[in-house]
Protein backbone atom coordinates (compact mmCIF):
# COMPACT_ATOMS: atom_id res chain seq x y z
CA UNK A 1 0.00 0.00 0.00
CA UNK A 2 2.82 2.40 0.86
CA UNK A 3 4.53 1.59 -2.43
CA UNK A 4 1.33 2.33 -4.38
CA UNK A 5 0.92 5.67 -2.58
CA UNK A 6 4.53 6.54 -3.33
CA UNK A 7 4.12 5.75 -7.04
CA UNK A 8 0.96 7.89 -7.21
CA UNK A 9 2.69 10.80 -5.45
CA UNK A 10 5.65 10.55 -7.82
CA UNK A 11 3.38 10.45 -10.90
CA UNK A 12 1.51 13.59 -9.82
CA UNK A 13 4.73 15.51 -9.15
CA UNK A 14 6.26 14.31 -12.43
CA UNK A 15 3.22 15.59 -14.33
CA UNK A 16 3.30 18.96 -12.55
CA UNK A 17 7.02 19.38 -13.20
CA UNK A 18 6.47 18.59 -16.89
CA UNK A 19 3.77 21.30 -17.13
CA UNK A 20 6.10 23.92 -15.64
CA UNK A 21 9.03 22.79 -17.78
CA UNK A 22 6.86 23.12 -20.90
CA UNK A 23 5.75 26.61 -19.88
CA UNK A 24 2.08 25.64 -19.62
CA UNK A 25 2.15 26.60 -15.96
CA UNK A 26 4.15 29.70 -14.97
CA UNK A 27 6.11 30.26 -11.76
CA UNK A 28 5.78 33.61 -9.99
CA UNK A 29 8.92 35.73 -9.51
CA UNK A 30 9.84 37.67 -6.40
CA UNK A 31 11.83 40.95 -6.45
CA UNK A 32 14.72 39.30 -4.57
CA UNK A 33 16.64 36.05 -5.19
CA UNK A 34 14.96 32.83 -4.04
CA UNK A 35 16.99 29.82 -2.94
CA UNK A 36 15.00 26.63 -2.50
CA UNK A 37 16.10 23.91 -0.09
CA UNK A 38 14.26 20.65 -0.58
CA UNK A 39 14.46 16.95 -1.28
CA UNK A 40 13.04 14.13 -3.34
CA UNK A 41 12.09 12.16 -0.23
CA UNK A 42 9.47 13.11 2.36
CA UNK A 43 11.06 13.61 5.77
CA UNK A 44 14.28 12.49 7.35
CA UNK A 45 16.68 14.20 4.95
CA UNK A 46 17.74 17.03 7.26
CA UNK A 47 16.11 19.88 5.34
CA UNK A 48 15.59 22.04 8.42
CA UNK A 49 19.24 21.82 9.61
CA UNK A 50 20.30 22.56 6.01
CA UNK A 51 18.06 25.66 5.93
CA UNK A 52 19.57 26.76 9.25
CA UNK A 53 23.13 26.30 7.94
CA UNK A 54 22.41 28.26 4.75
CA UNK A 55 20.46 31.01 6.55
CA UNK A 56 23.31 31.45 9.01
CA UNK A 57 25.91 31.65 6.22
CA UNK A 58 23.88 34.24 4.30
CA UNK A 59 23.17 36.29 7.41
CA UNK A 60 26.86 36.31 8.35
CA UNK A 61 27.52 37.97 4.95
CA UNK A 62 25.28 40.87 6.01
CA UNK A 63 22.23 39.84 3.96
CA UNK A 64 18.67 40.25 5.19
CA UNK A 65 17.33 36.70 5.07
CA UNK A 66 13.70 35.60 5.16
CA UNK A 67 12.68 31.95 5.29
CA UNK A 68 9.37 31.02 3.65
CA UNK A 69 7.94 27.90 5.25
CA UNK A 70 4.60 26.15 5.47
CA UNK A 71 4.72 25.42 9.21
CA UNK A 72 3.40 21.87 9.14
CA UNK A 73 0.91 20.89 11.88
CA UNK A 74 0.75 24.35 13.41
CA UNK A 75 -2.34 25.40 15.33
CA UNK A 76 -2.14 29.12 14.54
CA UNK A 77 -2.74 31.06 11.35
CA UNK A 78 0.97 31.65 10.72
CA UNK A 79 2.66 34.88 9.73
CA UNK A 80 6.03 36.22 10.83
CA UNK A 81 7.46 34.19 13.71
CA UNK A 82 7.47 36.65 16.60
CA UNK A 83 7.84 34.18 19.48
CA UNK A 84 9.15 30.67 20.02
CA UNK A 85 5.61 29.28 20.15
CA UNK A 86 5.74 25.92 18.37
CA UNK A 87 1.99 25.33 18.73
CA UNK A 88 1.23 28.58 16.93
CA UNK A 89 3.91 28.54 14.23
CA UNK A 90 5.06 24.89 13.98
CA UNK A 91 8.14 23.16 15.35
CA UNK A 92 10.44 23.64 12.34
CA UNK A 93 9.82 27.40 11.87
CA UNK A 94 10.43 27.96 15.59
CA UNK A 95 13.62 25.90 15.49
CA UNK A 96 14.89 27.94 12.51
CA UNK A 97 14.12 31.24 14.30
CA UNK A 98 15.69 30.01 17.55
CA UNK A 99 18.85 28.90 15.71
CA UNK A 100 19.26 32.09 13.63
CA UNK A 101 17.48 34.85 15.60
CA UNK A 102 18.43 37.76 13.31
CA UNK A 103 16.53 36.43 10.27
CA UNK A 104 12.81 36.52 9.54
CA UNK A 105 10.82 33.30 9.37
CA UNK A 106 7.43 33.63 7.66
CA UNK A 107 4.86 30.86 8.02
CA UNK A 108 1.95 30.15 5.68
CA UNK A 109 0.67 28.16 2.72
CA UNK A 110 0.88 31.01 0.16
CA UNK A 111 4.59 31.67 0.20
CA UNK A 112 4.48 34.16 -2.70
CA UNK A 113 1.98 36.42 -0.91
CA UNK A 114 3.93 36.10 2.33
CA UNK A 115 7.13 37.13 0.57
CA UNK A 116 5.83 40.20 -1.25
CA UNK A 117 4.49 41.57 2.05
CA UNK A 118 7.96 41.36 3.60
CA UNK A 119 11.29 42.81 2.49
CA UNK A 120 14.49 40.76 2.28
CA UNK A 121 17.72 40.59 0.31
CA UNK A 122 17.20 36.86 -0.22
CA UNK A 123 14.38 34.41 0.42
CA UNK A 124 14.96 30.80 1.47
CA UNK A 125 12.16 28.51 0.36
CA UNK A 126 11.98 25.76 2.97
CA UNK A 127 11.06 22.30 1.61
CA UNK A 128 10.64 23.96 -1.76
CA UNK A 129 11.74 21.50 -4.45
CA UNK A 130 8.13 20.54 -5.22
CA UNK A 131 6.77 24.08 -4.66
CA UNK A 132 6.98 24.96 -8.34
CA UNK A 133 4.55 27.90 -8.16
CA UNK A 134 7.42 30.10 -6.97
CA UNK A 135 10.38 30.86 -9.25
CA UNK A 136 13.72 30.05 -7.67
CA UNK A 137 17.19 31.29 -8.60
CA UNK A 138 18.86 28.21 -7.14
CA UNK A 139 17.54 24.75 -6.29
CA UNK A 140 19.42 23.00 -3.47
CA UNK A 141 18.25 19.40 -3.13
CA UNK A 142 19.16 16.80 -0.51
CA UNK A 143 19.45 13.34 -2.02
CA UNK A 144 18.26 10.93 0.64
CA UNK A 145 16.33 7.64 0.48
CA UNK A 146 12.85 7.26 1.90
CA UNK A 147 9.27 7.77 0.73
CA UNK A 148 10.03 9.37 -2.64
CA UNK A 149 7.94 12.34 -3.69
CA UNK A 150 9.65 12.20 -7.08
CA UNK A 151 11.87 9.78 -8.97
CA UNK A 152 15.61 10.37 -9.02
CA UNK A 153 15.30 11.76 -12.55
CA UNK A 154 13.95 14.97 -10.93
CA UNK A 155 17.48 15.67 -9.66
CA UNK A 156 18.31 16.94 -13.14
CA UNK A 157 16.39 20.09 -12.17
CA UNK A 158 18.60 20.63 -9.11
CA UNK A 159 21.46 23.14 -9.21
CA UNK A 160 23.19 21.67 -6.16
CA UNK A 161 22.69 18.13 -4.86
CA UNK A 162 23.71 17.58 -1.24
CA UNK A 163 24.17 14.32 0.59
CA UNK A 164 22.75 14.12 4.10
CA UNK A 165 25.70 14.98 6.38
CA UNK A 166 24.10 15.61 9.73
CA UNK A 167 26.17 15.49 12.93
CA UNK A 168 24.64 15.74 16.41
CA UNK A 169 26.42 17.97 18.96
CA UNK A 170 26.38 15.71 21.99
CA UNK A 171 27.54 17.30 25.27
CA UNK A 172 30.73 15.71 26.61
CA UNK A 173 29.01 15.33 29.98
CA UNK A 174 26.74 12.62 28.51
CA UNK A 175 29.52 10.27 27.43
CA UNK A 176 29.83 7.23 29.68
CA UNK A 177 26.37 7.80 31.18
CA UNK A 178 23.20 5.80 30.61
CA UNK A 179 20.87 7.91 28.49
CA UNK A 180 17.21 7.57 27.50
CA UNK A 181 16.44 9.08 24.08
CA UNK A 182 13.10 9.97 22.52
CA UNK A 183 12.14 11.74 19.30
CA UNK A 184 9.28 12.56 16.95
CA UNK A 185 10.95 12.55 13.53
CA UNK A 186 10.35 10.93 10.16
CA UNK A 187 13.17 8.50 11.09
CA UNK A 188 13.66 8.25 14.85
CA UNK A 189 16.12 5.35 14.64
CA UNK A 190 18.45 7.52 12.58
CA UNK A 191 18.63 9.98 15.49
CA UNK A 192 19.11 7.27 18.14
CA UNK A 193 21.91 5.58 16.17
CA UNK A 194 23.73 8.87 15.60
CA UNK A 195 24.17 9.73 19.27
CA UNK A 196 27.03 7.32 20.02
CA UNK A 197 25.87 7.05 23.64
CA UNK A 198 24.99 4.24 26.05
CA UNK A 199 21.25 4.04 25.51
CA UNK A 200 19.21 2.76 28.45
CA UNK A 201 16.17 2.88 26.17
CA UNK A 202 14.44 4.78 23.37
CA UNK A 203 10.92 5.89 22.53
CA UNK A 204 9.69 7.02 19.13
CA UNK A 205 6.75 9.27 18.27
CA UNK A 206 5.27 10.28 14.89
CA UNK A 207 6.90 13.15 12.99
CA UNK A 208 5.85 16.59 14.32
CA UNK A 209 4.26 14.99 17.41
CA UNK A 210 2.76 17.56 19.79
CA UNK A 211 3.74 16.45 23.27
CA UNK A 212 1.32 16.46 26.18
CA UNK A 213 2.14 16.52 29.88
CA UNK A 214 1.16 12.86 30.07
CA UNK A 215 3.66 12.04 27.28
CA UNK A 216 6.49 13.67 29.24
CA UNK A 217 5.42 12.06 32.52
CA UNK A 218 5.38 8.64 30.82
CA UNK A 219 8.85 9.22 29.33
CA UNK A 220 10.25 10.10 32.76
CA UNK A 221 8.69 7.00 34.34
CA UNK A 222 10.04 4.77 31.60
CA UNK A 223 13.53 6.30 31.34
CA UNK A 224 15.42 4.73 34.28
CA UNK A 225 18.56 6.52 33.10
CA UNK A 226 21.10 9.18 34.13
CA UNK A 227 19.77 11.64 31.56
CA UNK A 228 16.94 12.09 29.04
CA UNK A 229 17.70 13.54 25.60
CA UNK A 230 15.74 14.51 22.52
CA UNK A 231 16.21 16.49 19.31
CA UNK A 232 16.14 20.29 19.18
CA UNK A 233 13.07 20.04 16.94
CA UNK A 234 11.25 18.13 19.70
CA UNK A 235 12.65 20.25 22.53
CA UNK A 236 11.09 23.48 21.20
CA UNK A 237 7.71 21.90 21.97
CA UNK A 238 8.66 20.90 25.52
CA UNK A 239 9.39 23.29 28.37
CA UNK A 240 11.24 20.97 30.74
CA UNK A 241 14.73 21.66 32.14
CA UNK A 242 15.24 17.96 32.89
CA UNK A 243 15.31 17.08 29.17
CA UNK A 244 18.50 17.77 27.22
CA UNK A 245 18.17 18.99 23.63
CA UNK A 246 20.72 17.65 21.12
CA UNK A 247 21.42 20.10 18.27
CA UNK A 248 22.48 18.80 14.84
CA UNK A 249 24.71 20.49 12.27
CA UNK A 250 24.32 20.01 8.51
CA UNK A 251 27.72 20.07 6.77
CA UNK A 252 27.87 21.84 3.39
CA UNK A 253 31.07 21.96 1.31
CA UNK A 254 32.53 25.43 0.83
CA UNK A 255 32.24 25.23 -2.97
CA UNK A 256 28.49 24.66 -2.62
CA UNK A 257 28.19 27.46 -0.06
CA UNK A 258 30.02 29.76 -2.49
CA UNK A 259 27.48 28.96 -5.22
CA UNK A 260 24.63 29.66 -2.81
CA UNK A 261 26.16 32.97 -1.78
CA UNK A 262 26.68 33.92 -5.45
CA UNK A 263 23.01 33.16 -6.23
CA UNK A 264 21.93 35.32 -3.29
CA UNK A 265 23.93 38.25 -4.68
CA UNK A 266 22.33 38.12 -8.16
CA UNK A 267 19.95 40.72 -9.64
Per-residue pLDDT reduced to its tens digit, 129-150:
999 899 999 999 999 888 888 8
Name the burial class of residue 195, with classes exposed (0-12), middle (13-18) and buried (19+) by CB atoms within 10 angstroms of its CB.
middle
Bridge-based pairing state of the strands 248-250 and 166-168: antiparallel
- Identify the weakest region by mean pLDDT among 70-74, 167-171, 200-204, 211-215: 70-74
CA–CA gap between residue 170 and residue 228 (Å, rounded): 12
Domain limits of the chain?
Answer: 2-165+251-264, 170-246
CB 175 within 8 A of CB 199: no
Per-residue pLDDT reduced to its tens digit, 201-244:
999 999 999 999 999 999 999 999 999 999 999 999 998 999 99
| b/e map 245-259, b = 16+ CB within 10 Å | bbbbebebeeeeeeb
Whose CA is closest to 128, among 60, 207, 67, 64? 67
Per-residue pLDDT reduced to its tens digit, 44-61:
889 999 999 999 999 999
Whether domain 2-165+251-264 has CATH 3.40.50: the reply is: yes
Amino acid sequence: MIKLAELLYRAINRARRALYRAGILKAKRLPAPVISVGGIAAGGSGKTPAVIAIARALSQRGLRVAVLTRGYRRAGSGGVVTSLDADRFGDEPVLIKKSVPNIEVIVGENRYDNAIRNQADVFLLDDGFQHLQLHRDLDVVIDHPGFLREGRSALRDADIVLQRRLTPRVPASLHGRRVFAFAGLADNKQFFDSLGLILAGTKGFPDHHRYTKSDIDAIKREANADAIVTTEKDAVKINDPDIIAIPADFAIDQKDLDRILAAAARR
